[in-house]
Amino acid sequence: MENSIQNRETVGVEDFVLLENYRSEDAFVENLRKRFQEDLIYTYIGSVLVSINPYKELPIYDAKHMERYRGQNFYELPPHIFAVADTAYRAVVHEYKDECIMISGESGSGKTEATKKILQYIAQASRHSGTVDDVKDKLLACNPLFEAFGNARTTRNDNSSRFGKYMDVEIGVEGFPIGGHVLDYLLERTRVVFQAPGEQNFHVFYQLLKGADQNLLSRLKLSGNWKDYHYLNQGCRTESTQISQEDALNKRWLQEFREIIHAFDATHFTPKEISDLFTTVAAILHLGNVQFMEDGDYAEMKSAEEVVIVSELLGCSRDDLMQALTHRGVHARQEKVLAKFNREQATTSRDSLAKAVYAKTFQWLIQRVNQALQASNQSRSAVIGLLDIYGFEVFERNSFEQFCINYCNEKLQQLFIELTLRSEQEEYVAENIPWEQVEYFDNQIICALIEAKPVGIIPLLDDECLRPGNATDATFLEKLREKHTKHPHLLINRDKQQFTIKHYAGNVIYDVEGFLDKNGELLHRDLKEIIIRCRNNDILKNAFTNEEATSLKRALSTATQFKNSLKELTVILKSKDPFYVRCIRPNDHKASRNFSDTIVRHQVKYLGLMENLRVRRAGYAYRRSYDAFLRRYKSLCPDTWPHYNGPAREGVSLLLNYLQTPAKAYAMGVTKLFVRMPQTIFAIEDAFQERKNDLVTKIIALWRGRRQRQAYLRDREDIITAQNAVRRFLAVKLLNKRRVAARSLREFIKGFMERHGPMTDLNRKFWLQTRMVYLNKLAKMALPVSVLDKSWPTPPPFLKETSDLLRSLHMRNRVLKYVKHCSPERKFLMDEKVLAERLFKGKKTLYLSSIPQFFITVRLGAETKPFVEQFENSIRQPTEKTVYATDCRKWDRHGLKERNRAMVITTQNLYFLEPGKAGFKKKNAFPLYTVDKLTVSANRDSVLILTVTTPAQGKKPEQTNDYIFLLPNLIEFAMKFVLVSGKESIVEVVPNGRCAIKAGGQNGCAVDFGLGSVDNILGHKKILIVQSST
Ligand SMILES: Nc1ncnc2c1ncn2[C@@H]1O[C@H](COP(=O)(O)OP(=O)(O)O)[C@@H](O)[C@H]1O
Ligand SMILES: [Mg+2]
């Protein structure tokens, strides 16, 4: 219902209880119409389902829909036949209660379809294999069989059920169908021999003619064309069926024939049984074609041909059959006398036989299907009863059959009124709610008119049938008139031989003609005997017990039998919880999308739907258990949201108070809340819908948060696990490391203590370790980078040798690196240094002061430097290159006088130059090879004694001369000279003391080298005293 409350704006209301103007029939019909036009064929009145025949296939019965309704609350989803089926089914399964679903409505309103849908739904509940599937197949298969033999086309319905059917589906303890049982009511047997215009005989005749293959047809001696048979072609006398229509019909019959063959298979019919069935059907067709002529007053058979076929098919005696059709054995005083029939009587006799055979066959079929549906296991079971009984019928001409059918509907209507009112009333009483009586039409008076003894229509009819003498339909009518002169529901029209009953569903005029015959429907004994003598046919052979066939006692009349069976049916139905499906036919033309207000209104009226609604609404429009109500609406009140732990009733009370619902608007029952007006519940529902949005937003947020948190917790857990693993791994690693370290330490200490003892593994290790530690340390230390840096870490004593080796390697390495990166110019400079070292290191103290500077080529002062060019252009030979030029002082050898001079070493000569104002003046030039010696002291002084030997030249003999100079850079000069001359031995370092100086081969003066407190050079009496500080 909540669902319908929610959707009320869309297409009418899904539950009439919510209809505001619930007393208005117009509003009721309008709601049906609105919904019907949107293909919403189902609407509830409380728990009653109102269904309108759509006359077209709707996509609402597939497996998806079945699934949707399975296990759902009745009101949670839009109204549907599946909702009814599911509720009944669940009650059976869960509560083990017998339920029944009563489907009522006019012919053509969709009862049989509804039954089938329910059956399909229940069968579908068994999604199992093996026996359950077998039962399911059987349950589904019995419908096509019943429809073939019991349904026919009428002006109201192309597939009208011409018998009443009540079916029990047994549900086993496991909740699956385990079997079933069918009761049938009053088959309209007249149809076998007669059909009104536009109507047809039972489907099976046509299905057999269209569906049987040539073999079967020829065995049954059938032509395959229904128009050839008198029992089939009467209905079409006035209706010219169009070719296209006929094509469609042929196709349908063929299809249906296949379905019944499949159904035979599913219900395990034997081939013999099937053959007997078809043979009987064929025999009836042939029987219908037996024709009689009038021979005087008596009937004669036109031709024996058809009778022969019938007797052959049924396996009875031809002569007996012929005789039974044209004669009647009259038993008079123990003797049997044959009385001949006239033509009319013979025809009646033929038709009676046909009807009886068909009726017996139908009964056999029901019994055979029941046998197939019998539950094999005897475990506890509950049932769902499905009642699909013919609906109220009003034709142009209504006869005994319509009378019975409409009587049946009166009884069912009575039951409906009684049960709906009763249950409603019971609910109010049980819930302690004051109950207000609703006026409704009680059809008891009509039922009494029909059935009450002794003057009801049926007792009168029976009386008339039994009365000896001249009883006719007319006398019956007369009796009726006499007994009910002023009955408000009965009108008699003697002129037309009609009587009218004002049924609850409307007035019906019955033609009294045939009432007596049809009620008596007595097959004369000869014909019964014929039937039981059909040797070949198991169905007919056992149709009557012997006693039945031979007894002279009259059987109960048809109407009384029917009355009795309805009584039994009422008992059965009352013993179960009822559900109602009220079917409505939207129009008279079997047309889809056509909604006739008048026709629907009429049905609404007589089905008592308005009363039903009024009863439902008299008290309260809406009721719901406190639990359910609270569950749905508790979010509307802070006291009940989100959890309310007290009793549901109190919770509802709190909720309603909070919503300020006026006390008059509702009543609190024992277990349920009753709300009087739909508006009240609409307001609550609207508030709920609004609240739902808020809640949904909250739920979404919470849900997202929760999901995030879950993800976070998952991640955290993963991380912790990973961390644990890593920590463990690291701890184990550390432990091992420590173990190893401790062991190493122990061994190391031991090794240390025993280091001087004999070599063992331990002290070897110690040594190794110490070495390693030292080497490692060395590797990490800042070792000298410069070749000049001589620092080096002090090694442990026992590694001195290694350290020295390493140091030398390191140095060499540094040097190698240095040398590799040395330019040729620098290398030259270094070579000069090396040469100087070789010449003077450790020999002359002055050397030390020469180390820091590189040697250069021109060592001239500011005044003499510019003369270099002049020297090179005008003094030097063009082939020479200047190697070194320096200022110097010269002492002459005689007076030891000092003079400024310059000396230039070229590649060939050594020049003595005198600096003048404009340039140098050449004083002397000696080829390099003439220079013999460069004598210096071992001291700090810069005095040079240069010895030149001039070779003999002409008359001039070889002559040795010494020259004394003071050079600003003595070491540099000596080195340059040695370099250019290639004579290292030329340098002589003399010890302190006196050196004689030769001049022109003679001893001249002398130089005295010595050490003193200060540097000093002093000439004294031809001796140059050169004193250097230490
Ligand atoms: N729910 C439905 N969906 C589609 N067609 C339907 C439905 N109910 C009835 N019909 C159509 O109406 C016809 C008559 O319905 P049926 O159940 O035989 O009526 P009833 O048994 O009340 O006389 C069916 O043959 C079918 O064509
Ligand atoms: Mg039907």
One DSSP character per residue, 666-699 reads EEE-SSEEEES-HHHHHHHHHHHHHHHHHHHHHH
As beta bridge partners, residue 501 has: 490, 508
Residue 380 burial by Cβ neighbours in a 10 Å radius (0-12, 13-18, 19+): exposed
Q: Are strands 577-584 and 99-105 parallel, antiparallel or unpaired?
A: parallel
Catalytic residue among 47, 53, 115, 157: 157
CA 851 – CA 971 distance, rounded (Å): 10
Tokens 């704006």 correspond to what residue?
9
Output the six-digit token pair for 717: 């857990």
Residues flanking ligand 1, CB < 6 Å: 53-58, 105, 107-113, 157-161, 391, 583
Q: Ligand 1, from 50, 53, 112: best to mutate by most atoms within 8 Å of Cβ? A: 53
- Is residue 105 part of the annotated active site? The answer reads no
Report the nearest-CA residue for atom 16 of ligand 1. Answer: 110
pLDDT digits (tens, 9 = 90+) for 457-486: 999 999 988 888 788 899 999 999 999 888
Q: Ligand 1, from 104, 113, 594: best to mutate by most atoms within 8 Å of Cβ? A: 113
- Is residue 1016 part of the annotated active site? The answer reads no
Band of pLDDT at residue 1, cut at 50, 70 and 90: low
Report yes or no on whether pTM surpasses 0.75. Answer: no
Report the nearest-CA residue for atom 14 of ligand 1. Answer: 108
- Is residue 520 part of the annotated active site? The answer reads no
Ligand nearest the Cα of residue 584 is 1
CA 457 – CA 508 distance, rounded (Å): 14
As beta bridge partners, residue 579 has: 101
310 Cβ partners below 8 Å, 6+ apart? 283, 286, 287, 290, 321
For the chain, the distance separating the N- and C-terminal CA atoms, rounded to the nearest angstrom, is 130
Q: Tell whether the model's pLDDT for residue 503 goes beyond 70.
A: yes
CA within 13 Å, CB half, 675: 23
Tokens 């060592």 correspond to what residue?
859
- In this prediction, residues 102-119 reach a mean pLDDT of 91
Report the nearest-CA residue for atom 11 of ligand 1. Answer: 55
Ligand nearest the Cα of residue 120 is 1
What beta strand segments (E) does 748-897 contain?
A: 858-859, 882-891
CA 126 – CA 177 distance, rounded (Å): 7
Residue among 622, 628, 256, 566 nearest 404 (CA): 566
Query: What are the Cα distances from residue 117, in Å, to 85, 161, 231, 262, 894?
Result: 9, 16, 33, 19, 157
Which atom of ligand 1 approaches the CA of 106 most closely?
22
One DSSP character per residue, 204-254 reads HHHHHHHHS-HHHHHHTT--S-GGG-HHHHSTTSS----HHHHHHHHHHHH
- Report residue 375 CA to chain centroid gap: 39
Residue among 234, 557, 212, 185 nearest 390 (CA): 185
Output the six-digit token pair for 127: 């999604």
pLDDT digits (tens, 9 = 90+) for 757-807: 898 988 888 888 888 888 888 888 888 888 888 888 888 888 888 889 999
- In this prediction, residues 670-695 reach a mean pLDDT of 84
Using the mean position of ligand 2's atoms as its centre, give its distance from the Cα of residue 391 in Å. Answer: 8
Band of pLDDT at residue 540, cut at 50, 70 and 90: confident
Using the mean position of ligand 1's atoms as its centre, give its distance from the Cα of residue 538 in Å. Answer: 35
Catalytic residue among 105, 150, 391, 456: 391
Which atom of ligand 1 approaches the CA of 113 most closely?
17
Catalytic residue among 107, 126, 143, 909: 107
Using the mean position of ligand 2's atoms as its centre, give its distance from the Cα of residue 963 in Å. Answer: 160
Q: Which residues surround ligand 2, an ion (CB under 5 A)?
A: 111-112, 161
Using the mean position of ligand 2's atoms as its centre, give its distance from the Cα of residue 406 in Å. Answer: 14
pLDDT digits (tens, 9 = 90+) for 6-48: 554 468 888 898 888 888 999 999 999 999 999 999 999 988 9
Ligand nearest the Cα of residue 109 is 1
- Is residue 157 part of the annotated active site? The answer reads yes
What was the pLDDT predicted at 131? 62
Q: Ligand 1, from 36, 50, 55, 592: best to mutate by most atoms within 8 Å of Cβ? A: 55
Report the nearest-CA residue for atom 26 of ligand 1. Answer: 55
Query: What are the Cα distances from residue 569, in Å, to 215, 566, 819?
Result: 43, 5, 129
Q: Ligand 1, from 101, 159, 166: best to mutate by most atoms within 8 Å of Cβ? A: 159
Which atom of ligand 1 approaches the CA of 583 most closely?
22
CA within 13 Å, CB half, 22: 26
What was the pLDDT predicted at 8? 44
Tokens 């298969």 correspond to what residue?
141
pLDDT digits (tens, 9 = 90+) for 604-656: 987 888 888 887 777 676 788 899 889 889 999 999 988 899 999 999 999 99
Query: What are the Cα distances from residue 320, in Å, to 212, 316, 341, 407?
Result: 30, 8, 15, 39
CA 365 – CA 361 distance, rounded (Å): 6
Tokens 């949670």 correspond to what residue?
76
Q: Tell whether the model's pLDDT for residue 923 goes beyond 80.
A: yes
CA 236 – CA 197 distance, rounded (Å): 6
Output the six-digit token pair for 593: 């999308």
Using the mean position of ligand 1's atoms as its centre, give its distance from the Cα of residue 265 in Å. Answer: 26
Grouping H, G, I as helix, E, B as strand and the rest as coil, residue 374 is coil
CA 586 – CA 106 distance, rounded (Å): 10
Phi, psi of 235 (to 5 degrees): -65, -25
Using the mean position of ligand 2's atoms as its centre, give its distance from the Cα of residue 60 in Å. Answer: 20
Catalytic residue among 112, 115, 361, 680: 112
- Is residue 557 part of the annotated active site? The answer reads no
Which atom of ligand 1 approaches the CA of 388 most closely?
21
- List b or e across 154-167, with b for residues whose CB sees 16 or more CB atoms inside 10 angstroms: bbbbeebbbbbbbb
- In this prediction, residues 680-686 reach a mean pLDDT of 82
- Is residue 161 part of the annotated active site? The answer reads yes
- In this prediction, residues 230-243 reach a mean pLDDT of 69
CB 310 within 8 A of CB 287: yes
One DSSP character per residue, 111-130 reads HHHHHHHHHHHHHHT----T
- List b or e across 975-998, with b for residues whose CB sees 16 or more CB atoms inside 10 angstroms: bbbbbbbebeebbebeeeeebebb
CA 391 – CA 114 distance, rounded (Å): 13
What was the pLDDT predicted at 156? 83
Instruction: Label residue 533 left, alpha or beta by phi (over 0 means left) and psi (-120 to 50 means alpha).
Output: alpha
One DSSP character per residue, 603-645 reads HHHHTTHHHHHHHHHHH-SEEEEHHHHHHHHGGGSTTTSS---
Report the nearest-CA residue for atom 9 of ligand 1. Answer: 110
Using the mean position of ligand 1's atoms as its centre, give its distance from the Cα of residue 34 in Å. Answer: 20
Report the nearest-CA residue for atom 27 of ligand 1. Answer: 55
Residue among 287, 306, 409 nearest 349 (CA): 287
Using the mean position of ligand 2's atoms as its centre, give its distance from the Cα of residue 106 in Å. Answer: 9
Q: DSSP letter at 189? A: G
Report the nearest-CA residue for atom 15 of ligand 1. Answer: 110
Band of pLDDT at residue 172, cut at 50, 70 and 90: confident
Catalytic residue among 155, 161, 280, 289: 161
What was the pLDDT predicted at 241? 55
Max mean pLDDT among 359-373, 425-439, 552-566, 815-829 falls in 359-373
CA 190 – CA 188 distance, rounded (Å): 6
Query: What are the Cα distances from residue 963, in Å, to 372, 434, 986?
Result: 157, 160, 15
CA 804 – CA 975 distance, rounded (Å): 33
Using the mean position of ligand 2's atoms as its centre, give its distance from the Cα of residue 151 in Å. Answer: 8
CA within 13 Å, CB half, 466: 13
Mean residue pLDDT across the chain: 88
Which atom of ligand 1 approaches the CA of 81 most closely?
1
Using the mean position of ligand 2's atoms as its centre, give its distance from the Cα of residue 407 in Å. Answer: 17
- In this prediction, residues 526-539 reach a mean pLDDT of 82
Residue among 350, 339, 354, 356 nearest 302 (CA): 350
Query: What are the Cα distances from residue 339, in Å, to 117, 326, 333, 347, 438?
Result: 53, 9, 15, 15, 62
Catalytic residue among 87, 160, 557, 939: 160
Which atom of ligand 1 approaches the CA of 41 most closely?
1
- Is residue 160 part of the annotated active site? The answer reads yes
Q: Please report, as a single letter, which amino acid is at residue 992.
A: N
Residue 177 burial by Cβ neighbours in a 10 Å radius (0-12, 13-18, 19+): buried
- In this prediction, residues 278-290 reach a mean pLDDT of 94
Ranges 171-175, 520-524, 687-691: which has the least confidence: 520-524
pLDDT digits (tens, 9 = 90+) for 729-740: 999 999 999 999
- Beta-carbon neighbour count of residue 242 at 10 Å? 9
- In this prediction, residues 434-448 reach a mean pLDDT of 80
Output the six-digit token pair for 733: 């690693």
What was the pLDDT predicted at 132? 65
Ligand nearest the Cα of residue 108 is 1
Using the mean position of ligand 2's atoms as its centre, give its distance from the Cα of residue 590 in Å. Answer: 14
Catalytic residue among 12, 46, 105, 108: 108
Using the mean position of ligand 1's atoms as its centre, give its distance from the Cα of residue 254 in Å. Answer: 20
What was the pLDDT predicted at 957? 86
779 Cβ partners below 8 Å, 6+ apart? none
Using the mean position of ligand 1's atoms as its centre, give its distance from the Cα of residue 109 in Å. Answer: 6
What was the pLDDT predicted at 522? 65
Ligand nearest the Cα of residue 393 is 1
Catalytic residue among 147, 188, 256, 393: 393
Report the nearest-CA residue for atom 25 of ligand 1. Answer: 159
CB 943 within 8 A of CB 1007: yes
Ligand nearest the Cα of residue 164 is 2
- Is residue 874 part of the annotated active site? The answer reads no
Band of pLDDT at residue 262, cut at 50, 70 and 90: very high
| Residue of 791 and 542 predicted with greater confidence | 791
What was the pLDDT predicted at 956? 84
Question: What percentage of the chain has pLDDT greater than the value 70?
Answer: 95
Query: What are the Cα distances from residue 118, in Å, to 70, 85, 386?
Result: 12, 6, 8
Q: Tell whether the model's pLDDT for residue 703 goes beyond 70.
A: yes
Which atom of ligand 1 approaches the CA of 110 most closely?
17
CA 566 – CA 454 distance, rounded (Å): 19
As beta bridge partners, residue 15 has: 44
Ligand nearest the Cα of residue 41 is 1
Which atom of ligand 1 approaches the CA of 51 most closely?
1
CA 417 – CA 447 distance, rounded (Å): 13
Question: What percentage of the chain has pLDDT greater than the value 90?
Answer: 50
What was the pLDDT predicted at 621? 67
What was the pLDDT predicted at 238? 43
Report the nearest-CA residue for atom 6 of ligand 1. Answer: 55
CA 727 – CA 730 distance, rounded (Å): 5
